[in-house]
Amino acid sequence: MTEIVSAAMLVIGDEILSGRTKDKNIGHLADIMTAIGIDLKEVRIVPDEEDEIVAAVNALRARYTYVFTTGGIGPTHDDITADSIAKAFGVPCEYDAKAYAMLEESYARRDLEFTEARKRMARMPRGAEHIDNPISVAPGFRIGNVHVMAGVPSIFQAMLDNVVPTLKTGTRMLSAMVPCLFGEGLIGGPLAEIQKAHPDTIIGSYPKYGDGKFWTELVVRARTQEALDAGRAAVEAMVAGFAEAG
């Protein structure tokens, strides 16, 4: 029996929406989720506005098994993710003693002042659990099914590595690619009929262009080898039929 585990990602930051910063975390999370059998079903990008973050977090955590957020847990005034997550869960946002001590020791070791701004990185919702940060010490956190991580790609990836072993995973999606030299306008109708006849598969059609020609990459996905083989065979037969017809 297949088990489906779902996830959503919430990217937080005005700099992403303005184009000043190019997101590099969505693709990485998608790759990791696919590899461990979790379906990444939705990605949202919201500004550094408390009401927007709260609304998105509450909508996503109610709908999916897991929610992963990036951005907004740094030391500056516009890093409001911790406060917003706390508000979404209806708990105070406060200094975490363990995080505070870790950061205080880290800055003292480097002979740097532990400023009020830097202390902000020790704040998290009451009851949250740490997500370790092996790169810059300041932890992310988990509360409920929401995992809150940094936006800097190297730190996000390191935090995610620590999160993955704690996740419940589902049945991994299998996939097969079927090359097709014909455009979507020609194969669209027959492909839709194949999808209806094979409801246990997901058939994707991805138009390509190169050397002055259009062609299509067809990808069949399924959670069982039997369903994958049946769907792929039907798609291959369709493509062969068009080839024979010339």
39-71: buried (b, 16+ CB within 10 Å) or exposed (e) per residue? bbeebbbbbbeeebbbebbebbbeebbbbbbbb
Q: Span 41-64, mean pLDDT?
A: 98
- Domain 5-166, CATH homologous superfamily name and number: MoaB/Mog-like domain (3.40.980.10)
SS3 content of the chain, % helix, strand, coil (to 5): 45, 25, 30
Q: Map tokens 């779902």 to a residue.
A: 6
So what's the pLDDT on residue 4? 87
Mean of pLDDT values over 111-135: 95
DSSP per position, 137-205: S--EEEETTEEEE-SSHHHHHHHHHHHGGGS---PPPEEEEEEE-S-HHHHHHHHHHHHHH-TTEEEEE
pLDDT at 2 (0 to 100): 67
* Domain residue extents for the chain: 5-166, 174-245
pLDDT of amino acid 194: 96
Non-local CB neighbours of 195 within 8 Å, separated by 6+ positions: 201, 203
The tally of CA atoms less than 13 A away on the side-chain side of residue 59 is: 12
Torsional sign, CA 150, 152, 153, 158: negative
- In CATH, what number does 174-245 get? 3.30.1370.10
Quick count: other Cβ atoms within 10 Å of Cβ 220? Answer: 26
Q: How many CB atoms lie within 10 A of CB 111?
A: 6
Q: Do 5-166 and 174-245 show the same overall fold? A: no
pLDDT on residue 171: 83
Mean pLDDT, to the nearest integer, of 182-190?
A: 88
pLDDT, residue 238, reads 94
Task: Report pLDDT for 210.
Answer: 76
Q: Which residues contact 114 (CB under 8 A, 6 or more apart)?
A: 103, 104, 107, 108
Least confident of 62-71, 83-92, 166-175: 166-175
pLDDT tops 90 at residue 66: yes
Tally Cβ neighbours within 10 Å of residue 135.
14
pLDDT in tens, 212-242: 777 889 999 998 999 999 999 999 999 999 8
pLDDT at 244: 84
Residue 43 has pLDDT above 70, yes or no: yes
User: What was the pLDDT predicted at 140?
Assistant: 97
What's the mean pLDDT when you consider all of the chain? Answer: 93
